[in-house]
Structure 1
């Protein structure tokens, strides 16, 4: 059996040298346990030996590793030995569902409960589900760091409490702000006092100020209503704020009654719904079909967009990499809210080239905005832009939308990019839509802001959505911000997660209170088990609004939910893009490749019948060995022996979609699913 060496960061003092571990199976070698490029891949339940190369010391021990595991692993045992006895077992917390490399830490010993003095190795009993795969790298033991297992503060000073937020959303105020319009030089606020009289004022509340903050009332404009209680007030678009030139584009406005003691709100606050646009005639994207590609890369298989007939792509964009606080040899200065920042020319040029290539092929581009986690970086711009409560468990972070400096930096680079990539001449290419972060219902992993109740988390997130919306519509009247969600619908899916339905419902509550905006949905309806492409077998996908998951099997649920009156925008259904989805082939055998293609055939036939769904971006384009054992690509691994990046059957099927050859290409998979016509996969009944 080959042994895999990992770093073991263990010491009795902080400066001691690391102690390596050797990992191996207890039983004979098996393809269920293998090493690839420094990563151990474990298929199904298994016990693993973890042996230190030198004797560990007496310090408190923490097990830490990076892992990738779709579906997660339940609570598991770590047994010191030999002998390995149940009485000395340490039950460690579950390994959560993760579709990216995620850090896992757990105590295996403390001063009060040390490991036996003569232990030589650990036995790790992983109860991995039969079809599951756990990938592990960089596993080590180390001393416990002060405070690392303390409870996370869910209610920092820069956030409102759940109780206060819910009370605000539920409150019936007598007065109302009915419309806010932002012109080139003026902001117009219209509303009704609802019979209220007395010392009435409009409060100009910058986006970064949270509910309950006394700074909400720092800038007041007197209101003198008409006899019927209505009022219309024009104010300059810009005003001084803390020495800077503040743009009221992002303010919300609230009617208050001022007294000698305090100000009392008599309406909800409201954001702008109309923004003057530089290019109101800029045409909207008009994809020729619903066929898209996720995570597309320019220059990699150059003719692929044309060959597959792709009409839409998503492109990842790490916001922090485009901006600096200080000038440099390859930076461009720009201003926002009276502050000067610097855009990085090299990164801009690379994105320009990608967008120009997409533009050449006439495809719709949706950029996914991602932020480096400040818990993992010391870079000043990252620390300023990222949410201060983010913890290391997050791959990316929520922006710091409740700090004047943080939101100014974030808004500044968003404004720079939106202006650059919405030009009528298309000089730098075009971004049509903006996907705001990734899978925010699983924000603990993908858009981290610490451990927050759902309503507190959504209050932060909807500010990021609104900021992008208000900025983008200055340059493109058709641009939309998209909320990005996993397939976990009415069930939260994992610890610290919120569930897609819960966040959508909260977003509707916020828009009802503070003014609607044209947000849309970027949903990821993977099969229930990411490793099993036979989505027609998904038992957690039911035809109810309370379904645990929305997968290709029950896409009708998402369509029906979005068509409810409360979800409409100006009477129309919001666009739904299925912006990240794919089907796994457990290997490259004919049967597994057949099941993979059958799942896609079912999904396409479902989607084609649902009017709210505008696009399906297939992910992953090409199999990636760093995706936890998944093979969800249209093509094989780039380093696959004998057939690098080879086309799978699903590639040929995908190419046939939206062409005259679609039915013939899909027909063989009816037998795989066990049906005689695609009509049998369509749900025609009532969903509620």
Structure 2
């Protein structure tokens, strides 16, 4: 039995004192495992192993909470924690699984240890080759109510109500909503109804089933053909503020006395008056992009690699304040006053201007801080009230007047500033709404929500950005961001990317389509294994568990179905976050990494719906759970800091006359005679 001291500090909050835990570990009964400390404060375990945690102060007895942050692609099955010594099976606490995570995620579980003990042993049954990173592990007292079931906000719609609403066949239909500069025109048709007909205006934050849904009613009369229309001012008073009817949806109802009955689905704006209808769309030179790009480091990289598109992360709460400050400028939206943080905006200006200089398409990834973990007044008002601390980011609060107003003000501030015809501040062409929402529990948390309730919230966020952005840029698109988990949702609290696409389609069919697009993340099945052509969970079927570089044809065929087109045209698909790991910097592993990229690129060349691939991560990062997916080596690599891997040179050649020359060596790695054998022909749909 061998022991090593990790030297990892783990806070322990007990009745005696705040103590520190140093982690020691012994080999678990199973495959050989490795243990190391890649960066100070982080333990990395590969394979099944037991970890001993020793508090530097006397541990408390009785119920406590084991808490830690972890990164583990694939997760860990339920595991045992034993106090000791001696470590006896009868004293084991069996804890819930550590879920699949592709970012640093919080974990907490109740533990209860009786008697005297000095150490804990965590028996972690990781499958062979799986890597778990742990940091900030601690024992602490349980907080009152922290494990109680959190009730959903009253501002979320009921699952059964939403299902009935989307499935219902109504006798009437609102067919078009046109929002002009000063007027709104709503048209529709009705069968078998006459008299007592009204157009009901429903502001965006009102959920289905709310008895207060119909704030204003406009009487209409259907003609002999059953057609009706009405025109109203775009702005109207609402309380002490002004309400822009751009953000309303319209529903035909029948009013008899105090009783109001819905006769149609509600519909959002189809056409929107635009400030700059002549603004040209992005025209990327190739499908080659970089994900999570930022200016400053390696300033010639965009040019050297021939990059045509980038994504940029934007923590949107950082752009505004609720009160004036030394570096703020007041602005108004919907009659409310907010304060723009000029320094934060100018920092993004410089990033977007640099991209503009290189003629690069920019997609901003809009992220909302989690109010369960961030106490700033902006975040508390902006984030969804049901969000819990397990989420890295949160869903915005789109079902309260105050929350939607703040969120809309920020979106309008960004869209107006970064869609100017003169490009004074740089330009954002597209807006990726949050991150990997099918894994919303981790990336876009709104608490415990069923898939349809979650999508009801999310599609409001997408709609809001779409409606606002198209006022300034007619070519702007909002993107839904999804993981590689397709027909299999991946984790119990996740939804599956196919399921959310189906629900988004259903909301659009009911309430009017809009030009959304898809930002997909088809990482290999195992993020640590770049040999995606071996992915067993990626099949050539719409029922495939995952979509990875092996079966990109499935995504292309699925999005080409008539039900997923917009006005008959293909919706753009951007593969906005993808990369291939090199387990180390050996020749074989680096060749496998580059081969994965070559395969994906050659497939994309034949898939017309896929417009762009944003490679992530640009540079190896020691805080990505042991992954080395960069085009370059670690900045602090001992032998070659920021060294270019073979995949860097391949990526540079893609889309140029040197592409085939640089890609050819990887045919043998994959086991292909030529690249024509890489493409699978999907059946026509």
TM range, smaller chain: over 0.9
Q: Deviations over 1:549-591 (max 9, x none)?
A: 0000000000000000100100001000000000000000111
Contact 1:557 1:687 in 2 (8 A): no
Structure 2 partner of 1:407 = 404
2:438 is equivalent to residue 449 of structure 1: no
**Is 1:175 aligned to 2:178, yes or no?**
no
* Whole-angstrom CA distance in 2 between matches of 1:644 and 1:5: 26
Residues 122/2 of structure 1: CA separation in 2 closer, same or farther (3 Å cut): closer
TM-score (norm 1): 0.97
User: Aligned runs of 1:130-529 on 2, under 5 Å?
Assistant: 130-153=128-151, 155-529=152-526
**Distance apart, 1:127 and its partner CA:** 1.2
Distance in 1 (alpha carbons) for counterparts of 2:170 and 2:261 = 11
SS at match of 1:409: helix
**CA deviation string 1:328-372 (max 9, x = no partner):** 111111111110101100000000000000000000000000011
1:246-268 superposed Cα distances (whole Å, 9 cap, x missing partner): 10001000011112232110000
- Structure 2 CA distance, aligned partners of 1:237 and 1:261? 27
1:278 and 1:73 map into 2 onto residues whose CA distance is 52
- In 2, distance between residues paired with 1:687 and 1:546? 16
In structure 2, how many angstroms separate the alpha carbons of the residues matched to 1:215 and 1:685? 48
Does the 8 A contact of 2:571 with 2:609 survive in 1? yes
The whole-number CA distance in structure 1 between the counterparts of 2:156 and 2:344 is 33
Instruction: Tell me if the contact between 2:77 and 2:97 (Cα under 8 Å) persists in the aligned partners.
Output: yes
1:60 maps to which residue?
Answer: 63
1:184 to partner: Cα distance? 0.3
Equivalent in the alignment of 2:114: 116
Instruction: Please tell me whether the aligned partners of residues 334 and 343 of structure 1 are also in contact (alpha carbons under 8 angstroms).
Output: yes
Pair 27,70 (structure 1): closer, same or farther in 2 beyond 3 Å: closer
| Cα distance in 1 between the residues matched to 2:459 and 2:515 | 12
For 1:459-480, what per-residue CA distance to the aligned partner results, in whole angstroms no more than 9, with x for missing partners? 0000000000000000000000
CA shift, 1:210, in A, is 0.2
Q: 1:90 to 1:156 in 2, by over 3 A?
A: same
Q: Judge conservation of contact 1:523–1:576 (CA < 8 Å) in 2.
A: yes
Checking the alignment, whether the CA contact within 8 Å between 1:312 and 1:364 is kept in structure 2 is yes
User: Mean Cα displacement is larger for which, 124-133 or 541-550?
Assistant: 124-133
Contact 1:7-1:20 within 8 A present in 2 as well: yes
Q: Deviations over 1:213-259 (max 9, x none)?
A: 12212211111222222112110000111210110001000011112
Aligned mates of 1:234, 1:188 — CA distance in 2: 4
Question: CA shift at 1:147, angstroms?
Answer: 1.3
Q: Residue 549 of structure 2: which of 548, 552, 555 is its match?
A: 552
Bigger mean CA offset, 495-504 vs 259-268: 259-268
Alignment partner of 2:102 out of 81, 99, 103: 99
Q: 1:197 Cα deviation (Å)?
A: 1.4
Which residue of 1 is the match for residue 677 of structure 2? 680
Q: Gaps spanning 5+ residues in structure 2: where? A: none
Please tell me whether the aligned partners of residues 17 and 57 of structure 2 are also in contact (alpha carbons under 8 angstroms).
Answer: no
Q: What CA distance in whole angstroms lies between the structure 2 residues aligned with 1:239 and 1:671?
A: 67
Secondary structure at 2:176's aligned position in 1? strand
Q: Which residue of 2 aligns with 1:112?
A: none
Q: Which residue of 2 aligns with 1:20?
A: 20
Question: 2: CA distance between counterparts of 1:457 and 1:35?
Answer: 37
Q: Secondary structure at the match of 1:382?
A: helix
Residue number in structure 1 paired with 2:39: 36
> Matches of 2:530 and 2:47 in 1, distance apart?
17
Match of 1:72 in 2: 75
Kept in 2: contact 1:64–1:103 (CA 8 A): yes
Deviations 1:82-126 (A, max 9, x none): 1212121111111111111111001111xxxxx230222111111
Equivalent residue of 2:485, what SS?
Answer: coil
Residues 394-435 of structure 1: CA distance to partner in whole angstroms, max 9, x if unpaired? 100000000101000000011011011000000000000000
Give the superposition deviation at 1:31: 5.1
**Unaligned runs of at least 5 residues, structure 1:** 110-114
Aligned partners of 1:330 and 1:5: how far apart in 2?
40
Indicate conservation of the 8 Å contact 1:528/1:540, yes or no: yes
Q: CA deviation at 1:2?
A: 3.4
Q: Is contact 2:5–2:22 with CA below 8 Å preserved after alignment?
A: no
Structure 1: distance between partners of 2:219 and 2:34: 75
SS of residue matched to 1:107:
strand
Supply the distance in 2 between the matched residues of 1:197 and 1:4 (Cα, whole angstroms).
Answer: 78
- Provide the aligned length of Structure 1 versus Structure 2: 679
- Once the two structures are TM-superposed, the CA of residue 685 in structure 1 deviates from its matched residue by 3.9
Q: Is the 8 A contact 1:176 1:194 kept in 2?
A: no
Cα distance in 2 between the residues matched to 1:430 and 1:597: 32
| Deviation sequence 1:265-309 (CA, Å, 0-9, x none) | 000000001000000010000001000000111011000000000
Pair 1:415–1:528, CA change in 2 (3 A): same
The aligned residue for residue 86 of structure 2 is 83
In 2, Cα distance between the equivalents of 1:240 and 1:225? 28
- Separation in structure 1 between the aligned mates of residue 9 and residue 251 of structure 2, nearest angstrom: 57
**Counterpart of 1:367 in 2: which secondary structure?**
strand
Residue 538 of structure 2 aligns to a residue whose secondary structure is coil
Aligned to 1:47: 50
Q: Distance in 1 between matches of 2:503 and 2:27?
A: 51
Secondary structure of residue in 2 paired with 1:169: helix
